[in-house]
Structure formats: C-alpha cells, structure tokens
Amino acid sequence: MNRLGILGGMGPAASAEFVSRLIQQTPATRDQDHIPFVLWNEPRIPDRSTSMRNGNDDPLPYLIEGIQSLKYVGCNLIVIPCNTAHFWYHELIKLEVPIIHIVDSVADALCDVNVTNATIGVIGTQATVEFGLYQYMLNRLGWYSIVPTKEEMDTLVQPSIDLIKGGNLEQAHFLLMTVVKSLIDRGAKAVILGCTEIPLAIKEVEENSIPIVNSIDSLVKVVIKEFKL
C-alpha cells in the first residue's frame, strides 16, 4: 500500500494547513478514496532560517529522525511543508525514500497557469531569499526571479511571518499584500509564496490578474498526481 509521509511541525499551523488542503483538494467521495498519510509533527526542530544564516546543521538530526520514522511505518513518499527545511534536501534523499522537492512543485504550478520564461516574484523567509532556494532552481528552468528589497524583507515580510506564527493573520495579510503589489509593479508575471506560513494569511489566487502561487497548494497538487487520483 502506498502511504504518504508528512514531515511537519515547521510550523505546526503550516503542517495542519497542508493536511487540510490535501483533504479538501483530493477528489474523494468516500473515506476510502483519500490518500493514506502519517504526519510527523515535530515543533522542537531548531529554527531553519537561523541555522542557515549561522552556518550550522542543527535541524538536520531532527529531520533525519522524522524521515526515518516515517519510512519505518511504511511511508514510501515524503513531503516537507516547510521551504527552509529543503536546504538539507540533498542530505535527506540519502535516506533512500522519495522526497518531493517543494520548488519542483512550484515550477509545475507555474506551468499549470501558463507562466513560463517570465519574471517571477518570490516571497519567503530571510534565509530562503538570501540563500536563493527558489532563484537558483527556477532560473535554471527558464524563469527570472526577483525578490523583495532588503527594506521590504526587514519591515514587511519577516514581521508578517512572525505575526502569522503568533496568530495575527489580518495584519500579516496587509503587510504581505503590500509586498505582492510591489513585486508586480517591478514586472513579476506571477508571485510565489515561498514560505508555507504565508498562505495562512494570503488566500488570494491572483492580484491584478497576476497568479499567486503558494507552495502549500503546489505540494498538494503534486501529491495528488503521484497517487493518481
């Protein structure tokens, strides 16, 4: 039996949102039509962004433990609804269980909305933007990525992510939509929500006729395709 493993807890609300959207978007008419999954929710994993910026691998043992545990209970496909955790992707795939890369799922989503070879805006945590998680992969695939300015990151994006973690979605929405509009003004033909916390505050699928692609839904869509539902 195929069983999905979800390596979560980064943060817990984003993991719960992934599960909720997976259930909502699965084309099921009865319980038995849904995708079997196991959620490993480990909120004690050290902050990924902090570790990336400090140059250490503190989260890695926790990530490995989670994947090994999911593999042990029969999960033969893994997703990680956390963008910054993918900084350790190449170490995690050594555990010999398929892991869907979140940026690959976003690339598929961009193609689904017919945005190819275009300028793409990327919003994410400080570490995601600074280390070019999206820029590097998407630029290689033919897109040109732009990101918020340093001032926007410091005064709008990172504070909004902190607000989301604290449950203040309304104020976070206002700050984030300011950044979305700024990226569109700079020429973005689509905007990627490259942090799985952000879709909790932004529910829009487009702004000024420009697609907004969130990494939670893109991951959900790939999972559903993999299970051939």
Give per-residue pLDDT as tens, 157-208. 999 999 998 999 999 999 999 999 999 999 999 999 999 999 999 999 999 9
Instruction: Say how many residues make up the chain.
Output: 229
Residue range 127-142, pLDDT digits in tens: 999 999 999 999 999 9
Sequence ranges of the domains in the chain: 4-101+218-226, 103-215
Amino acid at 136: Y
What CATH code is assigned to 103-215? 3.40.50.1860
Residue by residue, pLDDT tens for the chain (229 residues) are 589 999 999 989 999 999 999 999 999 999 999 999 999 999 999 999 999 999 999 999 999 999 999 999 999 999 999 999 999 999 999 999 999 999 999 999 999 999 999 999 999 999 999 999 999 999 999 999 999 999 999 999 999 999 998 999 999 999 999 999 999 999 999 999 999 999 999 999 999 999 999 999 999 999 999 998 5
SS3 state at 40: strand
Q: What are the phi and psi torsion angles at 120 (to 5°)?
A: -120, 135
Sign for the pseudo-dihedral over CA of 19, 194, 141, 217: positive
- Report the CATH number of the 4-101+218-226 domain: 3.40.50.1860
Whether the CB-CB separation of 192 and 206 falls below 8 Å is answered with: no
Fold agreement between 4-101+218-226 and 103-215:
yes
Q: Which amino acid belongs to residue 195?
A: C
Strand order in the sheet with 190-193: 144-146, 119-123, 190-193, 210-214, 206-207
